[in-house]
Copies of this chain bind each other. A is one copy, B any other.
Amino acid sequence: MTDDALFHGLNSSGDCLALGERALELIRKIYPICRSITGDGVRETLRHVARHVPLEVFEVPSGTAVLDWTVPAEWSIRDAFIADSSGRRIVDFRRHNLHVMSYSTPVHARMTLHELRPHLFSLPEHPEWIPYRTSYFRANWGFCLPHRLLESLPDGEYEVLIDSELKPGNLTYAECRVPGTTREEFIVYTHICHPSLCNDNASGIALTTILAAELARHQPRLSYRFVFAPATIGAITWLARNQDRLSLIRAGLVLGLVGDAAPLTYKRSRRGNTEIDCIAAAVVRDLDPNSRVVDFSPYGYDERQFCSPGFDLPVGRLTRSPNEAYAEYHTSADNLDLMKPSALAESFLAAARILARVDSNPRYLSRYPNAEPMLGKRGLHRGISRLTPRDMEYAMLWLLNQADGSHGLNDVSAVSGLPESTLREAAAMLVSAGLIDEVHGAPALDHPAPEHENR
Interface residues of chain A, those whose CB is within 8 Å of chain B, are 67-69, 137-138, 232, 235-236, 239-240, 243, 270, 297-299, 304-305, 307-311, 366, 368-374, 376-377, 381, 394, 397-398, 400-404, 416-417, 448-449, 455
Known: A137-B377, A299-B394. A401 touches B369 (CB 8 A): no
Question: Which residues does chain B contribute within 8 Å of A308, judged by CB atoms?
Answer: 369-372, 400-401
Question: Which residues does chain B contribute within 8 Å of A372, judged by CB atoms?
Answer: 68, 232, 236, 298, 304-305, 308
CB distance from A436 to the nearest CB of B (A): 11
Question: Which residues does chain B contribute within 8 Å of A370, judged by CB atoms?
Answer: 67, 239, 243, 308, 310-311
Pick the 5 closest A-B CB pairs, nearest first.
A310-B369, A310-B370, A298-B401, A298-B397, A68-B373
Cα distance A138–B232 in the bound complex, in angstroms: 65
Cα distance A300–B379 in the bound complex, in angstroms: 21
Cα distance A346–B149 in the bound complex, in angstroms: 60
Cα distance A250–B252 in the bound complex, in angstroms: 39
Question: Which residues does chain B contribute within 8 Å of A236, judged by CB atoms?
Answer: 371-372
Closest B residue to A366 by beta carbon equals: B309
Question: Which residues does chain B contribute within 8 Å of A239, judged by CB atoms?
Answer: 370-371
Closest B residue to A68 by beta carbon equals: B373
Question: Which residues does chain B contribute within 8 Å of A400, judged by CB atoms?
Answer: 298, 308-309
Number of copies: 3
Closest B residue to A398 by beta carbon equals: B298
Cα distance A69–B371 in the bound complex, in angstroms: 10
Question: Which residues does chain B contribute within 8 Å of A270, judged by CB atoms?
Answer: 401
Closest B residue to A378 by beta carbon equals: B68
Q: Please determine whether A67 and B309 come into contact, CB atoms closer than 8 angstroms.
A: no
Question: Which residues does chain B contribute within 8 Å of A243, judged by CB atoms?
Answer: 370
| 16 more A-B residue pairs beyond the given contacts A232-B372, A298-B372, with a C-beta to C-beta distance below 8 A | A67-B368, A67-B371, A67-B373, A68-B368, A68-B372, A297-B416, A298-B400, A299-B397, A304-B401, A305-B371, A307-B401, A308-B371, A309-B401, A310-B368, A310-B371, A448-B449
Known: A304-B372, A370-B67. A455 touches B417 (CB 8 A): yes
Q: Please determine whether B297 and A398 come into contact, CB atoms closer than 8 angstroms.
A: yes
Cα distance A368–B370 in the bound complex, in angstroms: 41
CB distance from A404 to the nearest CB of B (A): 4
Cα distance A416–B299 in the bound complex, in angstroms: 11
Cα distance A376–B310 in the bound complex, in angstroms: 21
CB distance from A438 to the nearest CB of B (A): 16
Q: Please determine whether A402 and B309 come into contact, CB atoms closer than 8 angstroms.
A: yes
Cα distance A304–B448 in the bound complex, in angstroms: 25
Question: Which residues does chain B contribute within 8 Å of A310, judged by CB atoms?
Answer: 366, 368-371
Question: Which residues does chain B contribute within 8 Å of A401, judged by CB atoms?
Answer: 270, 298, 304, 307-309
Closest B residue to A417 by beta carbon equals: B455
Cα distance A297–B239 in the bound complex, in angstroms: 43
CB distance from A419 to the nearest CB of B (A): 15
CB distance from A81 to the nearest CB of B (A): 29
Question: Which residues does chain B contribute within 8 Å of A307, judged by CB atoms?
Answer: 401
Most central of A240, A243, A298, A417 by chain B CB within 10 Å: A298
Most central of A68, A240, A311, A448 by chain B CB within 10 Å: A68
22 A-B pairs, CB-CB below 8 angstroms?
A67-B371, A67-B373, A68-B368, A68-B371, A68-B374, A137-B377, A138-B376, A235-B371, A236-B371, A236-B372, A239-B371, A297-B416, A298-B397, A308-B371, A309-B366, A309-B400, A309-B402, A310-B366, A310-B371, A311-B369, A311-B370, A311-B371
